[in-house]
Structure 1
């Protein structure tokens, strides 16, 4: 892994869907020295461009938003009711510390949990069953927090054996790999490195990039986390990817079937460079590639996937070797686009 501090800064930063300001600041600071120009569009996508020779253009995208919540109601007794920003498994959210982001700063809270003595076995079914406790009475809570404030999990990234763990590695791991490649690559085409927003609610930021008249890509590549389920209780046939086996080269997900020519090209580059890689087929996730592939007309498309265990939780886990492999493959591929796009 090239830069642990950068990855941890990305994972630590708050960036719930539609409110990506804090992580956007980290991205801009890291990306600006590696590109010829950097812009932020009206939706909040950050685009850093490296001008290459010739007329080939490549768009590389990774989404910087994370799933979170929005306050839907402040109750008379001081609790916050929530509306989801993205897809949560509500059962994992009991007993989680959270941060509420208000106009006046951040406020600590916890999502409470019933003690074992009184808990019904199936007492949490969806977000409506949860509430945030601020440790304040109703009047103080209403003065401190407003409807529409956003909420994120409070989870610090840390090393875990050969892995890293924390919140939002889907897709801060992909953003990290894109930024690291932008620093290392010597591309043979003009490359637009795009940190996108609102992926978790329908690939919205990537769709804005795909329809932006400033870009006319010959190739689009997206980086995202993919499911890694090689854990007790999950059938081996349902694992999708394996931690430590390298970068995933996507064959299919619910949003896209990448171009076979791009799949073959990425595989050839990986094998020529000795980069560990694995095949990926995922039936129930989507990625920015789905929005980039055809929103502005047909374009060659591919996707690189980082295996992430415990998706959409405060303990998302990625292997450091897989991160390094992703950086290496993207870096190498960007120097060889001429072999794919003539």
Structure 2
């Protein structure tokens, strides 16, 4: 059952490029999907996309997942034709060595690689000195050609395919495209909800939850539930108390992260729905990291909020890895939660 969902769509949304502020290609996919499965779709000035399913009640629920992935912007071309980059989102410089990238120039997409000094010539303390700003991209061209093709401000993304690996899926940008996919699948499955549902594909989450914060004002829901990946450090070398979540144990119901403490009555109802529907689930207490949930909690007055996360190993790398059954459990939990929402639950404290 691990891949009993539209893997082709998941592959499309994860492999497609879209860094903060430049989510255009992903946004096109999202709009097509939401236009087919919601009553109306709109895009705001920041690029957030909202597909609305009108319910019988004025009560409204916002479901949010972000479209952007971490990436880079070209800030300088050296006299030797190498590219120096500015990070868009949080990178660990160690994972960039010897990786292939795509430079999204005005006329075409260009393949490049992050240069890596051979180990024979490395100093013993080279790792300690390495920072993202020190990395350079080699396009395999002379300086004149590079300057003709590339400009300061061009976007750079990692080049990686999304594949099945045993019971898991691995690739780039599962953060947060696997949850974006989950939201699109729930929009497909939802039928005649009692309340109005806003499916929100947000922008610029990786640089400070900017899209969700603006959208919290514009949509102004009665209840908001965000979807994002979370840490699964269930790997050798990490103590059990630092695993946060584990692959294969189901959808993660968030209790807190560094940006939000979810509303107790919301996460308790998510738990109740999971138990009633026999959906595998676990709890998430994330010590660091923020999600779009916080963008809705107090942007336009206090709102009840919840969050569902998909456990993911190796976050912010090109080999992010999630379990197929966990993805399916998240789709099922989100759909069941929305199907059962009547607008009459009391989430007040």
| TM-score, normalised via structure 2 length | 0.96
Aligned to 1:333: 337
Secondary structure in 2 aligned to 1:279? Answer: strand
What whole-Å deviation, never above 9, does each CA across 1:52-101 have from its counterpart, x for those lacking one?
00111000000010000000100110000010000000001000000000
Aligned to 2:307: 303
Query: Per-residue deviation at 1:120?
Result: 2.4
Matched, 1:200 2:203: no
Say which of 216, 219, 233 aligns to 2:237: 233
Matched, 1:71 2:74: yes
Aligned to 1:95: 98
Matched, 1:168 2:188: no
- Structure 1 segment 243-322 matched on structure 2, within 5 A: 243-322=247-326
Secondary structure in 1 aligned to 2:8? Answer: helix
Cα distance between partner residues in 2 of 1:286 and 1:329: 21
Cα distance between partner residues in 1 of 2:187 and 2:20: 24
Q: How many residues align?
A: 340
Secondary structure in 2 aligned to 1:335? Answer: helix
Cα distance between partner residues in 2 of 1:236 and 1:284: 17
- Structure 1 segment 116-131 matched on structure 2, within 5 A: 116-124=119-127, 125-131=130-136
Secondary structure in 2 aligned to 1:26? Answer: helix
What whole-Å deviation, never above 9, does each CA across 1:31-56 have from its counterpart, x for those lacking one?
21110001111101111000000111
Cα distance between partner residues in 2 of 1:135 and 1:122: 28
Say which of 153, 156, 174 aligns to 2:161: 156
Cα distance between partner residues in 2 of 1:85 and 1:161: 31
Tell me which moved more, 277-286 or 121-130: 121-130
Unaligned runs of 5+ in 2: none
Aligned to 2:216: 210
Unaligned runs of 5+ in 1: none
Cα distance between partner residues in 1 of 2:126 and 2:220: 51
Aligned to 1:136: 141
Secondary structure in 2 aligned to 1:231? Answer: coil
| TM-score, normalised via structure 1 length | 0.98
Q: Kindly report the root-mean-square deviation, in angstroms, between the aligned alpha carbons of the 2 structures.
A: 1.1
Query: Per-residue deviation at 1:341?
Result: 5.1
Aligned to 1:324: 328
Aligned to 2:185: 180
Cα distance between partner residues in 1 of 2:57 and 2:124: 63
Query: Per-residue deviation at 1:216?
Result: 3.2
Query: Per-residue deviation at 1:122?
Result: 3.6
Query: Per-residue deviation at 1:319?
Result: 0.3
Aligned to 2:7: 4
Secondary structure in 1 aligned to 2:221? Answer: coil
What whole-Å deviation, never above 9, does each CA across 1:306-330 have from its counterpart, x for those lacking one?
0010000000000000000000000
Say which of 58, 63, 74 aligns to 1:60: 63
Relative distance call for 1:121 and 1:321 in structure 2 (3 A) is farther
Cα distance between partner residues in 2 of 1:331 and 1:121: 52
Aligned to 1:111: 114
Secondary structure in 2 aligned to 1:117? Answer: helix
Query: Per-residue deviation at 1:211?
Result: 1.2
